[in-house]
Amino acid sequence: MKYRNIMTIRKLTSLALTGVLLTGSALTLGGCSQKSDDNANVLYVYNWGEYIGEDVVEKFEEETGITVIYDEFETNEVMFPKIDADPSEYDVICPSDYMIAKMIENDLLRPLDWDKMPNATAYTGKTYLEQAESFDPGNVYSVPYTWGTVGILYNTEEVDEEIDSWSVLWDEKYYDEILMQDSVRDIFAVALKYLGYSLNTTDLAELEEARDLLIRQKPLVQAYVVDEVRDKMIAGEAKIGVIYSGEAEYTREENEAMAYVIPKEGTNVWIDAWVITRDTHHYENALKWIDFMCRPDIALENFEYIYYSTPNIGAMELMDEEELENETLFPDLDNYDNLEAFDYLGEEAEAMYFELWKELKSAD
Amino acid sequence: MSKTSKHTAMLGLPYYAWAIVFIIVPLFMVVYYGLTDKTGAFTLDNVMAIAHPAHAKALWTSLVLSLESTAVCLLLAYPLCLVLARSGKSSNSFLVLFLIVPMWMNFLLRTYAWQSILEKTGIINTALAALHLPPQHLINTKGGIILGMVYDFLPFMILPIYNALAKIDRNVIHAAHDLGADDLQTFLRVILPLSMPGVISGITMVFIPGMTTFVISALLGGGKILLIGNVIEQEFTLAYDWNMGSGLSLVLLVFIVINIVIQMLTDKDGEGVL
Amino acid sequence: MKALKKFYVGLIFVFMYSPIVLLFIQSFNRSKSRGHWGGFTLQWYAQLLDDESILEALRNSILLAVLSAAIAVVLGTAACVAMQKMRAKSRAVVMGVTNVPMLNADIVTGVALMLLFLTIKIERGFWTVLLAHITFNIPYVILNVMPRFRELNPHIYEAALDLGATPVYAFFKTVLPEIMPGVGSGALMAFTMSLDDFIITHFTTGSGTQTLSTKIYSEVKMGIKPEIYALSSVIFVTVLVLLILVNRVQYRLDRQRLEAE
Task: Give B 177-196 residues with CB within 8 A of chain C.
Answer: 194
Which of C78, C109, C153 shows the shortest C-beta gap to B11? C78
3-state DSSP call for residue B234? Answer: helix
CB distance C99 to B204 below 8 Å: yes
Closest-CA distance, B80 to chain A, in angstroms, reads 17
Is C36–A6 a contact, with Cβ atoms under 8 angstroms apart? no
Is B163–C148 a contact, with Cβ atoms under 8 angstroms apart? yes
CB distance A135 to A151 below 8 Å: no
Q: Chain A: residue nearest B121 by CA?
A: A237
What are the respective helix, strand and coil percentages of chain C, to the nearest 5? 80, 0, 20
Q: Could you give the domains of chain B?
A: 50-266 (1.10.3720.10)
Q: Which residues in chain C are contacts of B117 at CB distance < 8 A?
A: 18-19, 22
The mean-pLDDT minimum among A201-205, A241-245, C50-54 falls in: C50-54
Q: Chain C: residue nearest A68 by CA?
A: C208
**Is residue A22 over pLDDT 70?**
no
Q: Which residues in chain C are contacts of A8 at CB distance < 8 A?
A: 250
Q: Chain B: residue nearest A178 by CA?
A: B222
Residue B3: per-residue pLDDT = 57
Q: What is the pLDDT of residues B175-210, one digit of tens each?
A: 988 998 888 998 998 899 989 888 988 998 898 888
Q: Could you give the domains of chain C?
A: 42-260 (1.10.3720.10)
CB distance B221 to B141 below 8 Å: yes
Q: Which residues in chain A are contacts of B166 at CB distance < 8 A?
A: 2, 5
Q: B1 falls in which pLDDT band (50, 70, 90)? A: very low
- Which one of A151-165, B231-245, C29-43, C74-88 scores highest in mean pLDDT? A151-165
Strand partners of residue A242 = A152
Is C213–B107 a contact, with Cβ atoms under 8 angstroms apart? yes
Looking at chain B, the whole-number percentage of residues with pLDDT higher than 90 is 41
**What does the alpha-carbon distance between residue A213 and residue A197 come to, in Å, rounded to a whole number?**
13
Handedness of CA B116, B119, B124, B130 (dihedral sign): negative
Average pLDDT, chain A: 88
pTM as predicted: 0.86
Q: Chain C: residue nearest A12 by CA?
A: C246
Q: Chain A: residue nearest C210 by CA?
A: A71
User: Which site among C30, C62, C141, C212 would you substitute to test the A interface, given the most A Cβ atoms closer than 10 Å to its Cβ?
Assistant: C62
Helix B142-167, helix B192-212: angle, nearest 10: 150
The size of the B-C interface in CB pairs under 8 A is 293
Which of C208, C223, C225 shows the shortest C-beta gap to A35? C208
Q: What is the mean pLDDT of residues A40-60?
A: 93
Cβ of residue B177 closer than 8 Å to a chain A Cβ: no
Neighbour-count burial for B101-115, b at 16+ CB within 10 Å, e otherwise: bbbbbbbbbbbbbbb
Other CB atoms closer than 10 Å to residue B144's CB: what's the count? 23
Which of C35, C191, C208 shows the shortest C-beta gap to A71? C208
Q: Which residues in chain B are contacts of C109 at CB distance < 8 A?
A: 26
Which of A16, A50, A232 shows the shortest C-beta gap to C222? A50
3-state DSSP call for residue B115? Answer: helix
The mean-pLDDT minimum among A79-83, A108-112, B48-52 falls in: A79-83
Is A8–B166 a contact, with Cβ atoms under 8 angstroms apart? no
Q: Could you give the domains of chain A?
A: 2-147+270-335 (3.40.190.10), 149-268+340-362 (3.40.190.10)
Q: Chain B: residue nearest A177 by CA?
A: B120
Residue C111's φ and ψ, nearest 5 degrees, are -65, -40
**Is residue A187 over pLDDT 60?**
yes
Residue A8: per-residue pLDDT = 41
Q: Which residues in chain C are contacts of B264 at CB distance < 8 A?
A: 88-89, 92
Residue B4: per-residue pLDDT = 63
HSE-CB at B143 with a 13 A cutoff on CA atoms is 6
Q: What is the mean pLDDT of residues B220-226?
A: 93
CB distance A103 to A275 below 8 Å: yes
Closest-CA distance, B261 to chain A, in angstroms, reads 31
User: Which site among A1, A2, A8, A70 would you substitute to test the C interface, given the most C Cβ atoms closer than 10 Å to its Cβ?
Assistant: A8
Closest-CA distance, A26 to chain C, in angstroms, reads 9
Q: Chain B: residue nearest A4 by CA?
A: B90
Task: Give C 26-85 residues with CB within 8 A of chain B.
Answer: 26, 34-35, 75-76, 78-79, 81-85
Q: What is the mean pLDDT of residues A212-232?
A: 92
Q: A152 falls in which pLDDT band (50, 70, 90)? A: very high
The size of the A-B interface in CB pairs under 8 A is 83
**What does the alpha-carbon distance between residue A199 and residue A217 come to, in Å, rounded to a whole number?**
18
Cβ of residue C1 closer than 8 Å to a chain B Cβ: no
Residue A273's φ and ψ, nearest 5 degrees, are -140, 155
Cβ of residue A225 closer than 8 Å to a chain B Cβ: yes
Residue C6 contacts by C-beta under 8 Å, 6 or more apart in sequence? none
Which of C76, C104, C198 shows the shortest C-beta gap to B249? C104
Residue B91: per-residue pLDDT = 66
Cβ of residue A235 closer than 8 Å to a chain B Cβ: yes
**Is residue A128 over pLDDT 50?**
yes
User: Which site among B23, B169, B192 would you substitute to test the C interface, given the most C Cβ atoms closer than 10 Å to its Cβ?
Assistant: B23
Is C222–A82 a contact, with Cβ atoms under 8 angstroms apart? no
Looking at chain B, the whole-number percentage of residues with pLDDT higher than 70 is 92
**Is residue C212 over pLDDT 50?**
yes
Q: A38 falls in which pLDDT band (50, 70, 90)? A: low
Which of A20, A46, A81 shows the shortest C-beta gap to C62? A20
Is B104–C239 a contact, with Cβ atoms under 8 angstroms apart? yes
Q: Which residues in chain A are contacts of B237 at CB distance < 8 A?
A: 75, 77-78, 81
3-state DSSP call for residue C121? Answer: coil
Closest-CA distance, C35 to chain A, in angstroms, reads 5
Nearest Cα to C216, choosing from C109, C60, C91, C81?
C60
Strand partners of residue A274 = A143
Q: B67 falls in which pLDDT band (50, 70, 90)? A: very high
**Is residue C105 over pLDDT 60?**
yes
Other CB atoms closer than 10 Å to residue A95's CB: what's the count? 28
User: Which site among A3, A4, A7, A9 would you substitute to test the B interface, given the most B Cβ atoms closer than 10 Å to its Cβ?
Assistant: A9
CB distance C188 to B159 below 8 Å: yes
Cβ of residue B237 closer than 8 Å to a chain A Cβ: yes
Residue B89: per-residue pLDDT = 66
Residue C12: per-residue pLDDT = 95
Is B83–C5 a contact, with Cβ atoms under 8 angstroms apart? yes
